[in-house]
Structure formats: structure tokens, C-alpha cells
A and B are shown apart, each in its own frame.
Chain A
Amino acid sequence: MRFWKQALEIARVDLTVEGRIGSTLRITLPFAVVALMVFPLALDLQLVLVSTIGIGVFWALGILFGMQVALRQSATDTRERRDLQALLGVDPAARFVGRLISGGVLMSGFLFIVLLAMVVLFDPAVPDGGWPVLIISTFLVAIGLTELGTLAGEVTAGLSNRTVLASLIVAPLALPLIIGASQSVGALSRDTGILPWILLLIASDLALAVAGVALAQPLEEATR
């Protein structure tokens, strides 16, 4: 019970702070939408082509900017605040789960708004029955990216240049998410099974969640 109270309290305060700073909604999101808007310039303004590859563009930009959302905590997580939480008896695993909840909410909101902007701007070609798959994949990617960002933040806690190091950790580990997400919708176009790709996303999310909870305490002690 105490575990969940601590996790929910950390998530609540994290979202309150985000609501007041607005680093995701006021900084990262507008940049992502601007990137979407200027993307056709790279394709010589061929909007039909943009529409055809639209979902791929969404995944590329969504995951790229999503990594910034995922890593935002490692930039604001100070040693003093970590010390305070340790001395208040906060379970490191509860802190991981709390950050996962708040980060998951933010990341889901971020990716769905980018997806909406993509639809409004370019009307991307989505195969029949593709929207539910796209929505499920987007949600699973949001969770996975948040887990990666939170885990990378824990691994690099207390290190100088931790934001750079965390990015280097997240980028290669995000590959299963990128592959699973792009292939799940692509499989519909090719009329092949989507299940393996959705399962890849679910397995990645579960593995990262288990790793995050299991490693939270040893990581905290290792960074003492």
C-alpha cells in the first residue's frame, strides 16, 4: 500500500510540475509539429509521397522527439532531491513506477497529438483496419520509451553529462520499439500477420518494466 501511495504521489507531483513548466507541451511538442510541417520540403513538396510514407514519418519524428520527453526527468533530477527521497524512505522501485505513470501520461499525450497533427496536415495512407493497430502501437511505444528514459535516468544518476549518456543508452534500446511499431502497421499493408510485432512491443514493455523495478534498488545503491 505504501509502495503505491509513494508511486502515485511522485506521479502526481511530476505532472503538477510539468503542468507549470510545460516543457513537453510548450517546448518539445511545438518543435515536433514544426518538424512535421517542414518535412515535405525535404521531399520537394510531393504531398502524395508524404501521404504514402506518412506513418513512417510519424514514427521517425514521434520517437525522435519522444526521446526528449522520455529523458526530461534526467535533466531535472537533482542529487538533493534524490537524497531527500531516499531519506523519506521512498522505495526506489516506487519512484520508478511513479515516474513511469507520469511519463507514460505525458508521452502518450505527446505521441497522440503528433499523430493527430500528421493526420490533419498530410492525411497519411493507412491500410484498412490500420487505425486500431496504430493506436495500440502508439500506446505501447509511449510506455516503452518512457520506461527506457526512466531506466536510463536511473543508470546515469549522479554522473556528469548524464543527459548525453542517457541518450546513448536509449537510442539502441529503442530499436525493438521502432521495429515493432513500424512493422505492425506495415504488416497490414503486406497482408501478413501483425501479432508478432504487437507481441514484440508488449514483450519489450514488459521486459523494461521488470528490469526497471528489479534494478531500481541496486542502481540506487550503486550510485551512492
Chain B
Amino acid sequence: MRDLDLVVEPGEAVGIAGPNGSGKTTLIRTAATLVSTHRGSLEVLGHDAETRDLVATRRAIGMIGHQPTLIPELTLIENLNHVARLAGVDVARIPRALEVVGLSGASDRRAEACSFGMKRRVEIAHLLLTRPQLLLLDEAASGLDESARDLIEALVGSVRQRGGGCIVVSHDRAQLTQLCSRVASLADGRLEKSR
């Protein structure tokens, strides 16, 4: 990425569109503090992302990336239990989160036996549990049915409502326009324009 200057204000959702290889995923991973910036500066939720102690900052970030993060050998509810215990979230909230994403009846199914769409719904449930302040979505709605897309829209809405920020990356400009307060284009690592 070069000459990239992006600020996401509280309550704002910024959409990033761009062709394959333009740097969208790198941008998302950098904003998640998972990739170091070689030059320039990155501030996430008021903290300098180049500091060593990022544990607290990262805990306030939620991300859905290209690949599902579920452990295939665990059931859906076990995956959510694992996430909740690591994040220090009350596991009593898991049944409700599963209900919201429409997976109450499949909670005992192993992740390896679930469709891509079901895994995505579990990841949405995970974000309902951890309630991130910064939400990063990398093609999160790709390949999902309409009701799952609605869940993502509701997730973005809830983060914005509580004053958090969102960066949504997608090929689907129409979807970005619907979800986000502004949309920018990324091409060859440069942010080209903003609406």
C-alpha cells in the first residue's frame, strides 16, 4: 500500500472496493494489527499499532476474513465456547447468539460437516458475543444467502450504533453502498477516490 490515508470515524462504516490483488486484504489485516506497517503510522482505537502491547487493542477488533476460522473437529457450539472462554465472555450468551444466526438446531454438528454459509454464521455469532469496537469484513458476504447477508448488515449496523467503526471490503460495490457511509476504491495499493 502506498500514499494511503484513511480515517474511520466512530459510528462510521467505510467500504473499500477494488480488483483482485489491489491490496484490500492487506489493508484489512493491517487495520487488524496483524501486519506490520513498514512505513507510515497506524492508530487503532486510539492506540499506536506499532507498540508491543497490543493485546487489549486487539480484543476490541472483530474480523471476518476469507477463510473461516472454525476448528473443523469441534462442533459449532464447542467452537463458540472456545472463542468465548479465550475472550473472557460469558458462555451463557452462546445459545442466544446461535439463535440469532439461525443455527440453534445445528449447534452439535461438527464444523467440518457444515457448509461455508453455516461457518460464516458461526463467525457472525462469535462477533455478537465479543461485541467489537472495530469491525473488519473481508468479502464476508461473498457466497452467502440473503438472510446471512442481512445478518452482516445488522452486525455492521449494531457496531455503528454503539459508536464503533467498520471497514468493509467487497467486490460488490452495490452492497458497499448499501452498508457503508462512504466507499473508496483501492487500486494497486492506492486509495483512489471516496464518495
A17 within 8 A of B: yes
B32 within 8 A of A: yes
Q: For residue B85, give the distance in angstroms from its CB to the closest CB of chain A.
A: 5
A217 to B55 Cα, complex, angstroms? 10
A150 within 8 A of B: no
B35 within 8 A of A: yes
- With A20-B73, A80-B67, A221-B52 known as contacts, the answer to whether A88 contacts B32 (CB < 8 A) is no
Query: Which B residues lie within 8 Å of A78 (CB)?
Result: 67
The closest CB in chain B to the CB of A14 belongs to B71
Query: Which A residues lie within 8 Å of B85 (CB)?
Result: 5-6, 9
Q: Is B58 a contact of A81 with CB atoms below 8 Å?
A: no
B86 within 8 A of A: yes
Q: Is B67 a contact of A89 with CB atoms below 8 Å?
A: no
A221 to B33 Cα, complex, angstroms? 10
A133 within 8 A of B: no
A84 within 8 A of B: yes
Q: Is B86 a contact of A85 with CB atoms below 8 Å?
A: yes
Among A88-117, those with CB < 8 Å from B are: 88-91
Q: Is B69 a contact of A9 with CB atoms below 8 Å?
A: no
Query: Which A residues lie within 8 Å of B35 (CB)?
Result: 224
Q: Which one of A10, A89, A217 lies within 8 Å of B58 (CB-CB)?
A: A89
Count residues of A near B (Cβ-Cβ below 8 Å).
26
A37 within 8 A of B: no
B26 within 8 A of A: no
Q: Which one of B34, B69, B88 lies within 8 Å of A81 (CB-CB)?
A: B69
A83 to B29 Cα, complex, angstroms? 9
Query: Which A residues lie within 8 Å of B33 (CB)?
Result: 86, 224
Q: Is B34 a contact of A224 with CB atoms below 8 Å?
A: yes
Q: Is B74 a contact of A88 with CB atoms below 8 Å?
A: no
Query: Which B residues lie within 8 Å of A88 (CB)?
Result: 58-59, 83, 86-87, 130
B164 within 8 A of A: no
The closest CB in chain A to the CB of B67 belongs to A80
Q: For residue B26, give the distance in angstroms from its CB to the closest CB of chain A.
A: 12
Q: Is B71 a contact of A21 with CB atoms below 8 Å?
A: no
A2 within 8 A of B: yes
The closest CB in chain A to the CB of B53 belongs to A217
A13 within 8 A of B: yes
Q: Is B36 a contact of A80 with CB atoms below 8 Å?
A: no
Query: Which B residues lie within 8 Å of A90 (CB)?
Result: 86
Q: Is B55 a contact of A17 with CB atoms below 8 Å?
A: no
Q: Which one of B32, B52, B56 lies within 8 Å of A89 (CB-CB)?
A: B56
The closest CB in chain A to the CB of B32 belongs to A87
Among B25-72, those with CB < 8 Å from A are: 29, 32-36, 52, 55-56, 58-59, 61-63, 65, 67-69, 71
Among A177-224, those with CB < 8 Å from B are: 217-218, 221, 224
The closest CB in chain A to the CB of B62 belongs to A87
Q: Is A86 a contact of B71 with CB atoms below 8 Å?
A: no
B190 within 8 A of A: no
B82 within 8 A of A: yes
Q: Is B52 a contact of A83 with CB atoms below 8 Å?
A: no
Query: Which A residues lie within 8 Å of B71 (CB)?
Result: 13, 17, 81
Contact string, B173-191, partner A, CB cutoff 8 A, digits 1/0?
0000000000000000000
A171 to B138 Cα, complex, angstroms? 40
A52 within 8 A of B: no
List residues of A whose CB falls within 8 A of some B CB: 2, 5-6, 9-10, 13, 16-17, 20-21, 78, 80-81, 83-91, 217-218, 221, 224
List residues of B whose CB falls within 8 A of some A CB: 29, 32-36, 52, 55-56, 58-59, 61-63, 65, 67-69, 71, 73-74, 78, 82-83, 85-88, 130
